[in-house]
Structure 1
Amino acid sequence: MWSEFAPVQVVAWRMLSRLRNEGWAADSLDILYLDDETLEWAKKTGDHEQDGTVEFHQDSNGTRLFEGDTVVLVKTLDVKGSTLSAKLGTVVKNIRLVHDNTEQIEGKVEGQTIVILTKYLRKG
């Protein structure tokens, strides 16, 4: 952040802005000086207007889920629009994350792709 090069200053400002909920990052932002033109450039992404939190897909125990993980159902689920009932303990392999909703994943149960709420599964 102490670089004399404006692009490095902009990247430092943006990274610190994303982490501003951390005490050390807020302290660093307070002492970081950018001239008006460089600060305007740094603000073009709009990162500073967001709350700085990032949400991840998590199972019922709070464990982070990733693409391709294997999960186990912790509740018997009736699949809407189908006669399929996904039983408690069913293993779902190679899941896909629903990118616009952190509370949902996609997986195959009995050959059928279904959407499952993350609160009904645990990482297996």
Structure 2
Amino acid sequence: MILEQQLSQRSQSECEICKSGDALELYAVPPQTAKTEDNCIMICGTCKSQIEKAEEMDKNHWRCLTASMWSEVPAVQVVTWRMLNRLSAEGWAADNLDTMYLDDDMLAWAKAGKDDQAAEVAEVHKDALGSPLLAGDSVVLTKTLDVKGSSLNAKLGTVVKNIRLVEDNTDQIEGRIEGQVIVILTKYVRKQN
């Protein structure tokens, strides 16, 4: 009960994601072995039910991620990153995801909880060497690419960060190069480690 009191005080009795004051509860951000102040958040029922996919996603509700992405609480950042990835087809979410930074440990934690999202996609996106690609990965171009409909020329060796997967085509990803979001064929990229 002490942890719940600490989190309630930290959150000022508001949902740490959307700032709602409705019926808050302790939420341990998976995967975790023990509940701590860094890996738990206080969350409202609306956010929790949509995170756990018990309720249909209300895209407008999640515009709050624009503010929560700047939280200093690791668990809030991880949940925000995961939800922005689930909403990456929305322009505002994709822009926020491109702006958001997680250190390597937190990014690994965020990706570890995306197993359920990866299971939704029957086929896996793979790079030129056969390594699986996930949303948010960084890739390196293995070939200089001319971008159709643009004067942009994406050079060999260019690093593309925070890629998005094209849902209905495992041969394509989306990435931002020189401020433009472009579609890139997976056979021309190598996953950056």
Identify whether the pair has TM-score above 0.5, normalized to the shorter chain: yes
Amino acid at match of 2:130: G
User: Residue in 1 aligned with 2:157?
Assistant: 89
Structure 2 portions without partners, runs of 5+: 1-121
Count of residues paired in the alignment? 71
2:74 corresponds to 1:74: no
In 2, Cα distance between equivalents of 1:55 and 1:110:
29
Amino acid at match of 1:122: R
Pick aligned residue for 1:101 from 169, 172, 181: 169
Cα deviation, 1:42-91, whole Å, max 9, x if unaligned, reads xxxxxxxxxxxx42100000000000000000000000000000000000
- Does 1 or 2 have the higher relative contact order (CA < 8 Å, sep 6+)? 1
In 1, Cα distance between equivalents of 2:160 and 2:123:
22
Cα deviation, 1:71-124, whole Å, max 9, x if unaligned, reads 000000000000000000000000000000000000000010000000000001
Q: Larger Rg: 1 or 2?
A: 1
Partner SS state of residue 106, structure 1: strand
TM-score, length basis structure 2: 0.36
Structure 1 portions without partners, runs of 5+: 1-53
User: Residue in 2 aligned with 1:57?
Assistant: 125
Partner SS state of residue 119, structure 1: helix
Aligned Cα root-mean-square deviation (Å) = 0.6
Identical columns (%) = 72
Structure 1 residue ranges (4+ consecutive) displaced by more than 6 angstroms after TM superposition: none
In 2, Cα distance between equivalents of 1:61 and 1:120:
10
Partner SS state of residue 72, structure 1: strand
Amino acid at match of 2:168: D
